[in-house]
Amino acid sequence: KKGSSLLRRPRRARCGHSPRSATMAQGQIPVVFSEVLSLPSLGISSNAIKFGSCAMESDKFITVCDNSSGSPQVCIVDLQNGNQVTKRPMSAEAAIMNPVSKVLALRAGTNLQIFNLELRAKMKAHAMPEPIVFWRWISPNAIALVTATSAYHWSIEGTSAPAKVFDRHAALGEGTQIINYQVSPDEKWCLLMGISQGGGGAIKGDMQLFSREKGVSQTLSGHAGCFHTMQVPGRGDPAQVLCFEEKKADQPAKLFVMEVGRDKDAPGGAFRLAPVPIPVPADAAADFPVAMCAAAKHDVVYMVTKMGYLYLFDCLSGKALYRARITTDTIFVTCAQSSTGGILGITARKGQLLQVALNEATLVPYVVATLRDNALGIALAGRLGLPGADDLYSQEFNRLLGGGDVAGAAKLAAEAPNGMLRTAETIQRFQGIPGQPGQPQPVFQYFHLLLEKGKLNALESLELAKPVLQQGRTQFLEKWLTEDKLECSEQLGDLVMAADVNMALSVYLRANVPEKAVNCFVQRGEYDKIAAYATKVGYRCDYGFMLGNLARQNPAGALDFAKGLAAGGLIDPNAVVEVFMGANRVQETTAFLLEALKANKPEEGYLQTKLLEVNLRGGSPQVADAILQNNMFSHYDRQYVAKLCESCGLSQRALEHYTDVDDIKRSLLAMCANPQTLNPEFVLSYFGSLSPEASLDCLRELLARNMRGNMQVVTQVAAKYNEQIGAQPLVDLFENFKCYEGLFYYLGQIVNFSQDALVHFKYIEAAAKCQQFKEVERVCRDSTVYEAEPVKAFLMDAKLPDPRPLIHVCDRHDFVEEMTAYLYANQLQKYIEVYCNKVSPQKTPQVVGKLLDLDGNEDFVRGLLNSVGHACPVEELVEQVERRNRLRLLQPWLEARIATGNQEVGTHNAIGKIYVTLNRDPVSFLTNDQWYDPQVLGKYCEKLDPSLAFLAYKRAGGSCDADLIRVTTENGLFKDQARYLVEKQDLELWTTVLNPVEGEAESAEANRRQLIDQVVQTALPETKNPDHVSTTVKAFMAADLPHELIELLERIVLQGSDFSENKNLQNLLILTAIKADKERVMEYVNRLDNFDGPEIAKIAVSDQYGLYEEGFVIYTKFAKLAEGAAADELNVSAVGVLVDMVRAMDRASEFAERVDAAPVWSRLPKGQLGA
């Protein structure tokens, strides 16, 4: 391809340096040059080491797509891991490795893929619409893709497709090979670089600079460029610059360095250098750069050309630092090397990985001796802190001082590398220079520049402090110390001590002079800090002696000092206690021990006891009380402390420590006896720590000593620990002391939550004895826990003035009859009325029943029923009254309800029973009333009058058919049964009566016979409905009763009825006789006229039945009634019977003569022939 030929390998040429460096020895050149490795030696084919198939995105990895062996593979050289080579079978045209991680991008045609090699997972894939001519990683998270028309950025995060950034300029159009693409650190600028064939065989370079913010492009004539960020003198913020080579036709190449993205009017302006000519050797006029890289470590630009020349430029001045031809082969790919601040490059085909870095030791000497640029040498040495300019700095410093440029000399001394001029001699020289009126002393100017640059050394700090302290301007020293601008020393502290102890302490602390620092703490009275400081720095002194003196002079300070010593383990706490107690300092002893014993260690039990004893016996029991309240210690002698607390009146604390029940009872009684010291909340919580037996013992003691005074505490304890102690023992406790009021209060606190029946019963009992009748009623009404029987018995025995609690119990637990008896016996009839009307009207029947049992006044019962009215359930009431044979009592009440339009079934059932019993036109009621239950009244009537039961069951409309059949059968009411069956027209019901049950065949047959007789004699003759007849006939047919069916049909057809001429019935009668009673067929044929003769005749003469004479008679009978052809056809059938079946030829001839019809005569010969 034309584009790829531009980077073909050049002819070999002799390696050499620039003319100036030709005289320099190899060790004095400003670069370090070496070969890192050879790719062919690692098994990589030389044919694959070329632009496009070999890539180096960073100093971590080299990737090569090697297809030379016929098996496509990607070779990865790990430069950070001993140059380890990994070969992966992958078919790809190009591969590039992420600059910081093991993420590999592959390209095959227009298809792109990104893999995470560590996770062995594909991250993204995309198919571009057009081929990619150049690509590279522009950041750890993005890849730049350049096609023939546009540039794209593709993020490896998410699922987004490549996003177009800009279109290629026409200057980089067709025929241009893209060789590089750069993006600025702030990602706002893009630089696309390409080369093409120019005139006269020269290689033309074009670059496109694109601003992403403004969306505009600018073309530059040149081959290579890069972005770089550096610190510019005089500015606090860094500058982002573009460095590029400009090569226009017929003009020498120039280096441009200019800041991009900054407004020229911004503070400090925009950094820009004047174009600097590039020193191209005479024999390389046609040469051109293929790579440019800026090193952040030294702010140096490396430029590599096609012919293998290396150029070094200083970014801040643009000056050329070095030029040399490092190889005769083409370096087609380069990258920065972070460890050295240099660059790496790979030569085409040979595969040499070359390393070039700045030689810091020789750069400044080289610039001074070879380039003869002292200013540049000083600038580089000062900026980069490089050696080799000592003499230059000394000469320049002397020159400036000799010329009277104090400020310049001070600046030079301050910026000299490695502090070479920051000596005592320099300070003395500035001190020896007389000051100028209106200006600060030269030495102060010098120190001012040093302070701006950083921190002063010990000598400088000391020399600066002397004049400042002489002038009394200690605030400056304090400011510099705060800003850490001074190096502290013992000498500086001694100097400051005379002026300011606080500042001297700061200096001693920083200079690590513990003896003098402790002295400062003492002078400042900061005893609490001495121990902490001594522990921190490992300094030891006689703390016991110091503490004894302080305890007498300054007890508060001694306390702080002791705390610090004990915290650092520098003194025995027992010794401290002895010191303080020897001076009778109880307060300080307490404060010290509180701090020293806060870890609450077992081995400190003696001191914990001592602390409490000191306060309990020393007149400060409140302090001990507070210590015990906060539970600060747990290893002291509890029994000893308990006795001390009891003797001091701290009953609560004594209780907390005693374990013996007798001790506990004694302290508890003492506490409860004094209302001022009584703490009910504590008492309640304290009982939680006792066993149930001990708790009962203590409660018993409290009640025995002062029942009225201790009742409240006892009831509260009993309520809170009811579950632990148990309700029964607590109830027994109160009952033994006949303390029913206490029992009431105790149970009142738990009854609403307890599920113990005993609690509820005893509460009812206690409330009754305390005349708390409303509570008795409430619990009886609302509780679901108590056992009803004992509560009922108690209430009946107690005979409370208000029986409502008893009423609630009896009502809820179905003791209504017993309640009724109790109320009636105690002349409490009004409560009976209240109960029935307001409490439970639905239980009125039970009340009425019990009143009847008690021979109660019937007027009272009637009045009670009238007052309850419709709320009383009728059925249960009737059942109760009927059981006692007092049903007539309800007649007025029931009739009154019915008169109001009541439609309740129970009401109508009851009045029906009364009417049946009294024989008060029961037939009319059973027939006409629409609301009673036929099942109920039918069952009721069976014993009194079965016919009435039949009427009731009949009124059921079919739901009581089984009972109806049973009653009529058992009582011989077959006529009623027959009429009902005919009218009902229910074939299933017919089946039940016509088919006898297995095992009862004999009796069932007799019953069926009687039923059939009534059906034939009464039911069917009475009906005028043809459906009744039809259904009945079907039922007999379904029951397979042919003889009974014949009997039935004879009664209907032959004995005269509305259905005598019914053709179907006549047909059915004859057909049934043909099948079941052949002797009657001839009679029926002769007596009946309206039947289907020809069809029946055919059936009769069939081989199955063989009734030839009957068939002959039917044919002749119907032939006489017919005319014409129909008569001839019937006569022919008749003669056919005689000829073919009877074989009576004489009769046939006689019949033919009598009929004298041609069809008949024509049939006769056939008969004779057949015979």
Of 106, 100, 109, 112, the C-alpha closest to 88 is 106
CA pair distance 905, 883, nearest whole angstrom? 19
Q: pLDDT (tens digit, 9 = 90+) per residue, 883-936? A: 777 777 777 777 777 777 777 777 787 778 877 877 788 888 888 888 887 888
CA pair distance 1167, 1171, nearest whole angstrom? 6
Residue 583: the pLDDT is 73
- In the numeric block, the tokens 């007890």 are attached to 555
CA pair distance 732, 770, nearest whole angstrom? 17
Cβ atoms of 558 and 527 closer than 8 Å: yes
Instruction: Tell me the two tokens of residue 907.
Output: 């009401």
pTM of structure: 0.45
Query: How deeply is 233 buried, as exposed, middle or buried, from its count of CB atoms within 10 A (0-12, 13-18, 19+)?
Result: exposed
Q: Which residues are 183's β-sheet partners?
A: 190
Cβ atoms of 250 and 283 closer than 8 Å: no
Virtual CA dihedral for 742, 745, 747, 749, nearest 10 degrees?
-150
Residue 125: the pLDDT is 95
Question: Which stretches of 433-482 are DSSP H helices?
Answer: 442-453, 458-470, 474-482
Q: What is the 3-state secondary structure (H, E, C) of 610-633?
A: HHHHHHHHCCCHHHHHHHHHCCCC
Cβ atoms of 739 and 707 closer than 8 Å: yes
- Complete edge-to-edge strand list for the sheet that includes strand 289-295: 289-295, 300-305, 309-314, 320-325
* CA atoms within a 13 Å half-sphere pointing along the CA-CB vector of 899: 6
- Residue 940 phi, psi dihedral angles, 5° rounding: -65, -40
Cβ atoms of 191 and 178 closer than 8 Å: no
Residue 25: the pLDDT is 40
Q: pLDDT (tens digit, 9 = 90+) per residue, 333-379? A: 999 999 999 999 999 999 999 999 999 889 988 998 898 888 898 88
Cα radius of gyration (the chain): 65
DSSP state of 12: P
Q: For residue 167, what are the contacts with CB-CB under 8 A and spacing of at least 6?
A: 149, 150, 151
Q: Pairing state of beta strands 150-155 and 142-147?
A: antiparallel
CA pair distance 61, 83, nearest whole angstrom? 9
Of 394, 521, 512, the C-alpha closest to 458 is 512
**Residues of the chain whose pLDDT is less than 50?**
1-27, 999, 1166-1167, 1169-1171
Residue 16: the pLDDT is 37
Of 419, 414, 319, the C-alpha closest to 363 is 319
Cβ atoms of 1080 and 1109 closer than 8 Å: no
Cβ atoms of 793 and 785 closer than 8 Å: no
Around Cβ 186, how many Cβ atoms within 10 Å? Answer: 13
CA pair distance 961, 545, nearest whole angstrom? 123
Residue 475: the pLDDT is 86
Query: SS3 breakdown of the chain: % helix, strand, coil, rounded to 5?
Result: 55, 15, 30
Q: Pairing state of beta strands 121-127 and 132-139?
A: unpaired
- In the numeric block, the tokens 């907390």 are attached to 656
**Residue 394: what residue type?**
S
Of 47, 54, 51, 52, the C-alpha closest to 74 is 54
Long-range contacts of 1001-1009 (CB under 8 A, 24+ apart): 1007/969, 1007/974
Of 8, 849, 818, the C-alpha closest to 349 is 8
Query: How deeply is 1104 buried, as exposed, middle or buried, from its count of CB atoms within 10 A (0-12, 13-18, 19+)?
Result: exposed
Burial 1129-1159 (b: 16+ CB within 10 A, else e): ebbbbbbbbbbbbbebeeebbebbeebebee
Crossing angle, helix 1145-1155 and helix 1124-1136, to 10 degrees? 170
Specify the 3-state DSSP secondary structure of 1107.
Answer: coil
Of 477, 507, 509, the C-alpha closest to 494 is 507
Residue 1091: the pLDDT is 82
CA pair distance 1167, 755, nearest whole angstrom? 110
Residue 539: the pLDDT is 76
**Residue 310: what residue type?**
L
Residue 13: the pLDDT is 32
Residue 277: the pLDDT is 95
* CA atoms within a 13 Å half-sphere pointing along the CA-CB vector of 1086: 7
Question: Which stretches of 224-307 are DSSP H helices?
Answer: none
Cβ atoms of 963 and 953 closer than 8 Å: yes
Residue 637: the pLDDT is 87
Specify the 3-state DSSP secondary structure of 511.
Answer: helix
Instruction: Tell me the two tokens of residue 747.
Output: 């149970």
CA pair distance 334, 317, nearest whole angstrom? 24
Q: How many angstroms from the chain centroid is the CA of residue 822?
A: 64
Q: In terms of residues, how long is the chain?
A: 1171
Query: Alpha carbon of 428 to those of 431, 463, 709, 781: distances in Å?
Result: 5, 10, 96, 110
CA pair distance 846, 818, nearest whole angstrom? 10
Residue 997: the pLDDT is 62
* CA atoms within a 13 Å half-sphere pointing along the CA-CB vector of 98: 17
Q: What is the 3-state secondary structure (H, E, C) of 1032-1064?
A: HHHHHHHCCCHHHHHHHHHHHHCCCCCCCCCHH
Query: Alpha carbon of 587 to those of 6, 559, 767: distances in Å?
Result: 96, 10, 57
State the distance between the two ends of the chain, measured CA to CA, in whole angstroms. 124
CA pair distance 315, 226, nearest whole angstrom? 12
- In the numeric block, the tokens 């980077």 are attached to 7
Query: How deeply is 631 buried, as exposed, middle or buried, from its count of CB atoms within 10 A (0-12, 13-18, 19+)?
Result: exposed
DSSP state of 17: B
Task: Report DSSP letters for 156-202, one per residue.
Answer: SSTTPPPEEEEEPPGGG-TTPEEEEEEE-TTS-EEEEEEEEE-GGGP
